[in-house]
Amino acid sequence: MSYGPLQVEYHNPDGRTVIWVGNQIHQGYWFVRPGTFRGRLCYTYGSSASNCDGDITKGSTGRQFRDGDPYDLAERTTAPFNLSELSFRSNLDDVDRLYANKSAAVEE
């Protein structure tokens, strides 16, 4: 069994968020709750309770970032592909390559 990146998220400036996990897309909301330093980034998906990360520090805990919505997650109801197609040590560069390959195959 292989595991791909745990998840890819898009945070819309209006408070909406989309999380891509495996082969699923989930719509939700993000907000900042006051924390000890910069605040805590919190999420709500569906009817689930809010889940908050630690203090907000861009680039912490091995996270990677891209500007904008490069995978068009805000407009999707289905995943572009199953993230489990990638190895556990994959990063966003690997997601970019597979996304480009899958998109090119659809266009042909």
- Strands 24-33 and 40-45, bridge-based pairing: antiparallel
Give pLDDT tens digits for 50-102. 888 766 655 555 678 888 999 999 999 999 999 988 877 788 899 999 999 88
| Residue for token pair 């904008």 | 68
pLDDT of residue 60: 55
**Cβ neighbours of residue 101 closer than 8 Å, sequence gap 6 or more:** none
Residue 11 near residue 70 (C-beta atoms within 8 A): no
pTM: 0.79
CA-CA distances (angstroms) from residue 46 to 25, 51, 60, 89, 98? 12, 12, 27, 29, 29
Q: Residue 27 and residue 7: Cα distance in Å, rounded?
A: 13
